[in-house]
Amino acid sequence: MSAESPDPTQAPASGRRAAFAEQELRLISALVLILGLGLFLALPFVLSIGSVVFLPLVTAIILTIMLSPLADRFAQFGLPNVLASLGALLVFLAIVMLALALVLQPAVALFDELPAMADRVGERFGELRDQFAWLAVLNRELGNLMGQSGTTQVVLASPSVLEQLAFATPSVLIETLLTILMAFFMIEARVRLRRHLLFDRENFGSSVKAARVMREVQDRVAAYILTVAWINAGVGVIVATGAWLLGVDAPVMWGGLAAILNFVPYIGPLAMTVVLALFGIGTTETLILGLVPAAAYLGLHTIESNIFTPSILGARFTMNPVMILIALSYFSWVWGVFGALLSVPILLTLTAFFDHVGRPNLIGFVFGEPLFKTNLLGIGHDEGEGQQAG
């Protein structure tokens, strides 16, 4: 018996179908990429305008991801789901109130000393200005040579700090209440959501994958925030101890402020350094002595951020510093200080999600590679398998 010869027209037709499917997949990927870029550019305006709705919602989602493991731990002790959810939320609120009390109460006590400290800071900068007076003379002479004359500045009156607080307080209280209520109901509904993901879907494989993604996102974000919280608490204790040894007023306040600002990467420690420098200059007799607390904190932050924290977090929580800065600037632009605090948890949540779904290969896509390493749409998969089998 002789083997049947393959049809010469079948292989080229199969190759054409595979090539067409690949072009179709690339076209769909390009459309998805364009839509994603447009959404990335348009989303800040939508989120900023609707911050009253979106900021409590996003904050509640992050709190749900953070506090669900704690609620599960309470449920293992025999507590009903409602009490376990309420207990987890109350523990978080107690920690927040304690942190604010450590910072705000001593800050109020130091409020009366602010005018004197401002005068001392002005004197120190005045001394520096006198030392570099020749620069001002040179600048003035250059301005005269270029024919520039003095300009009149018009300063518009703006609302005072007390007026701004009076207008902002009702909105902040409403948003805080909405956030707490939404977080409680989301945490309480976590069991039903897991059951829905596992049992109320037709494809068991997709149900397991969805439940695995949800569990991975929850565990990664909660573990990261808990670990960073312990590290920042240690930083706060060291800063408070150092401030006490250096004789700085209200050492507990400085420790709490250092711990809170350390949750904001890069920007928080930089702001802490500037505040310590200004406070030191305003409370000491010499400029060099006033910079000692800021220099000590800067050395502590260098050791913590480059040696201590990476060794504890490990590769599982390692994120690209460029992506952290992009997320920080993006959400700070949208929601201000609250956006800066939420930027890293949001970035970590998206990173854990894309680790399961697949990260887009943006740079490789420009040079002809697939947008995703796996064929998420399944286009051209059957044809490719058929061609390999042939």
pLDDT tens digits, 230-246? 889 999 999 999 888 88
Half-sphere exposure of 324 (CA within 13 A, CB side): 14
pLDDT at position 89: 92
**How far is residue 302 CA from its own chain's centroid?**
20
Token reading at 371? 């947008």
pLDDT at position 104: 75
| Domains of the chain by residue range | 23-37+47-109+178-376
Average pLDDT, the chain: 75
Calculate the dihedral angle through the C-alpha atoms of 197, 198, 202, 207, rounding to the nearest 10 degrees.
80
Within 10 angstroms of residue 331's Cβ, the number of other Cβ atoms is 23
Token reading at 386? 């058929």
Report the b/e string of 288-327 with b at 16+ CB within 10 A: eebbbbbebbbebbeebbeeebeeebeeebeeeeeebeeb
The whole-angstrom separation of Cα 287 and Cα 128 is: 10
DSSP code per residue over 207-242 = HHHHHHHHHHHHHHHHHHHHHHHHHHHHHHHHHHHH
- Work out the average pLDDT over 157-169: 49
Token reading at 97? 């109130």
| Closest CA relative to residue 228, chosen from 254, 179, 261, 255 | 261
Token reading at 321? 């510093």
End-to-end CA distance of the chain: 21
pLDDT digits (tens, 9 = 90+) for 195-227: 776 666 666 666 677 777 777 778 788 888 888
Least confident of 128-132, 154-158, 378-382: 378-382
pLDDT digits (tens, 9 = 90+) for 57-86: 888 988 888 888 888 889 888 888 899 999
pLDDT digits (tens, 9 = 90+) for 275-316: 888 887 777 777 777 788 888 899 988 888 888 888 887 666
Higher local confidence (pLDDT), 127 or 62:
62
pLDDT digits (tens, 9 = 90+) for 307-351: 888 888 766 666 777 888 888 888 888 888 888 888 888 888 888
- Distances in Å between the Cα of 380 and the Cα atoms of 14, 36, 206, 234, 372 are 11, 23, 21, 54, 14
pLDDT at position 387: 42
